[in-house]
Amino acid sequence: MRETTVPVGDGFADLADALGLTPEELAAEACDRAVAAEAHQVWDQALRLARRHDSLLRRLGE
């Protein structure tokens, strides 16, 4: 895994503190949510394409 440094303002640390988290934990949760949202969009598009081209995919699988 590659480490990334993202500058944040004081409000981020305040929010993390209010939630009982470290800023690193809050950032990790935010990244996890963003990746999950992207994965969901990719899944939806893949499903749409598979349904649209189901006959071609069946023929290729034969």
Give pLDDT tens digits for 8-57.
888 999 999 999 999 999 999 999 999 999 999 999 999 999 999 998 88
In degrees, to the nearest 5, what angle opens at C-alpha 37 toward C-alphas 2 and 14? 70
Q: What residue has token string 């950032």?
A: 27
Please give the model's pTM, rounded to 2 decimal places.
Answer: 0.69
- How far apart CA 47 and CA 54 sit, in angstroms, is 10
In this structure, are residues 23 and 8 in contact, taking their beta carbons and an 8 Å threshold? yes
Q: Which pLDDT score, from 0 to 100, does residue 57 have?
A: 81
pLDDT at 62 over 80: no
For the record, the structure tokens of 6 come out as: 């993202």
Evaluate whether 41 touches 33 at the Cβ level (below 8 Å): no
